Amino acid sequence: MITEKSSLPEADKEITEKGRTATIMFIDLIGSSEVASIKSLNYYRNIYLKQFHDTINTVLENHDVPDEADSDEEVIWHMRGDELFILLSGKSIKTASDEQKINKIRSDILRMFSIALDIKYRWLFNDECGIKRLKGMKAPFEIAIGINTGQVLITKEKGNWGAEGYAINLAKRIESESRKGSASNIFVSENTYGYYSDISGENVLRFEQQEKSVLKGISGIVRIYELIFANLDEDDAIVKIPSEWLVDWDEKKEDLYAIEKMFLSTLNPWLGNVLCNVHWRKGAESLENLDELNGIPVGDDINVIKKKSLRKEAEQHVRKASEIARKLIEIEPENPAWKIYLAQILHEYLYYDLTEYNDKSVDKERVRLLLYDDTVKLLKKLTKDKPEEVDAWLYLSRIYLEIEINRKLIDAVIPNYEGFSDRKREKSLDDAMNFLSRIIMWDVEYPEAYYYMAAGYLAQGAGKTKIMEVFKKALRYADMQKRKPDMIKLAIIDPLFSTMTSVIKAQFGRYIKK
């Protein structure tokens, strides 16, 4: 039972401890009363509510949340009608340090964000309540989500786990307020936002503070934030959602067209964000399938045809993602997230060398250089306009480091290309290291800053001891965010560390073995 006060006498209720910090989420269907009054009872119960319950059950299973009947004191959830309640709370360990406790809270918050976003995406791609309405140019049925982090009492009443506390009431009030949202309708409390903002990560989630609100039953003014941007393209992202909804692309084409049509009609940035993520994730999926085929002999005609098809598909998706990102920059020119996003998409062309599939007559290496130029110019302008954008500095550092490791290729393609002269390359590498030092001053626990700094020392010809010392720092801070194996996997395939691959495998390979 999830209430601030239990109707049971204290003698019948077991309080498991004095209290612990938990992250609580309420999810509710927006406008369900109107749907019930307009639609038939059969539609409301057997289609609308059933699809909501099916979506929730699928997502919770994907995120290893136990069945409702098997809830324990660390994961408690209940679904009633059109509402879901879920609480994540690592059991208090008396011997845990303050740092370990905070890291557990942050881990719960990231897990909750992953669950919330997975539900939002699946509900949008839901046949009856999402896609079918979009194809008819109607807004999809929406979901309101409120998340809060705070102290709760974990209780056990007649064998059933429950929770009590002001933090639960506040989460519910935030969920009610999220119906006023203009983007994702995912609202979080100041406390939840504070824990998340201390977590390092490349342009993953962005929130926008709402007007200070007075919430029913809550004393004082409450600061709340809406999630306005989610970058879910990378496998090592700190917020993860499964992508089963992309498995059969042939069946999904019309769904994406419907979302794109609604986006261009309404200019809703959240729909544009969804489209970018889907196209990018699908492009990555095509490239992964391409990698699997690379072990088959080139002489295999069927294999060659499959490779061409996958390369073309990957390029189409990355190009579409870049088109949408440019449109989002037009819609919200002051939002730096879209510019960093576009820089990452341009980099995708570079990293996977997709330019060769545009046209056989195109000098693909010259195109790559122009893309480097575009990306650098985009990021340099952003860092000048908004010097507080740490992610832009970080990504600019990566591009500079790539320019350094590609210098032989650049010289071979365009010997005296002024954009990447020796003097400019040296300055770019120095600038990259200075940017990274500045980022570390801002945030001493930023794993990517140490990761790229290690790559920078490698490019400068530093000794292995120095490089590995910095790389180990990157892994230490990545481990605090439960991302150490992901970072090791990335380093093994990253061109920035191509001359250190065997060393990294030898020293850290055990962390990524299943």
Q: Which pLDDT belongs to residue 358? A: 44
Indicate if the pLDDT at residue 233 is higher than 70. Answer: no
Q: Which pLDDT belongs to residue 235? A: 52
Residues of the chain with pLDDT > 70, as a percent, come to 76
Q: Which pLDDT belongs to residue 225? A: 93
pLDDT digits (tens, 9 = 90+) for 355-374: 444 444 445 555 556 667 77
Higher confidence at residue 449 or residue 99?
449
- Average pLDDT for 149-157: 86
Cβ atoms within 10 A of the Cβ of 361, count?
5
Q: Which pLDDT belongs to residue 357? A: 41
Higher confidence at residue 396 or residue 188?
188
- Out of 28-37, 284-293, 358-367, 501-510, least confident range: 358-367
Q: Write the CB contacts of 243 (distance below 8 Å, at least 6 apart in sequence).
A: 281, 285
**Dist. CA 228–CA 113, nearest whole Å:** 13
Indicate if the pLDDT at residue 238 is higher than 70. Answer: no
Return the beta strands (E) in 113-204 as ranges.
143-157, 160-164, 186-189
**Dist. CA 452–CA 449, nearest whole Å:** 5
Q: Write the CB contacts of 207 (distance below 8 Å, at least 6 apart in sequence).
A: 188, 193, 196, 225, 226, 227, 228
Indicate if the pLDDT at residue 87 is higher than 80. Answer: yes
Output the CA angle 143-147-151, nearest 5 degrees. 150
Long-range CB contacts (< 8 A, 24+ apart) of 255-264? 255/125, 255/131, 255/134, 258/131, 258/134, 258/135, 259/124, 259/131, 259/134, 260/324, 261/134, 261/137, 262/134, 262/137, 262/139, 263/324, 264/327
Q: Which pLDDT belongs to residue 380? A: 84
Q: Which pLDDT belongs to residue 371? A: 63
Q: Which pLDDT belongs to residue 11? A: 44
- Out of 49-63, 77-91, 106-120, 271-285, least confident range: 271-285
Sign for the CA dihedral angle at 457, 463, 465, 468 comes to positive
- Out of 105-114, 215-224, 505-514, least confident range: 215-224
Alpha-helical regions (H) of 63-142: 98-124, 132-135
Mean pLDDT of the chain, nearest integer: 79
- Residue type at 46 in one-letter notation: N
**Dist. CA 246–CA 282, nearest whole Å:** 7
- Out of 128-132, 146-150, 282-286, 352-356, least confident range: 352-356
pLDDT band at residue 150, thresholds of 50, 70 and 90?
very high
Indicate if the pLDDT at residue 9 is higher than 60. Answer: no
**Dist. CA 350–CA 344, nearest whole Å:** 10
- Distances, alpha carbon 232 to alpha carbons 39, 100, 104, 120, 214, in Å: 35, 26, 22, 13, 33
Cβ atoms within 10 A of the Cβ of 40, count?
10
**Dist. CA 290–CA 169, nearest whole Å:** 50
Of residues 49, 100, 41, 75, the one with CA closest to residue 480? 100
pLDDT band at residue 412, thresholds of 50, 70 and 90?
low
Indicate if the pLDDT at residue 205 is higher than 60. Answer: yes
SS3 percent helix, strand, coil of the chain, rounded to 5, is: 60, 10, 25
- Out of 195-209, 241-255, 420-434, least confident range: 241-255
Token pair 């002051």 in the structure block, residue? 334
Indicate if the pLDDT at residue 214 is higher than 80. Answer: no
pLDDT digits (tens, 9 = 90+) for 487-512: 898 899 888 898 899 999 999 988 87
Indicate if the pLDDT at residue 296 is higher than 60. Answer: no
pLDDT digits (tens, 9 = 90+) for 368-408: 566 677 778 888 888 888 887 888 888 888 888 877 766 65
Tokens of 305: 């045809």
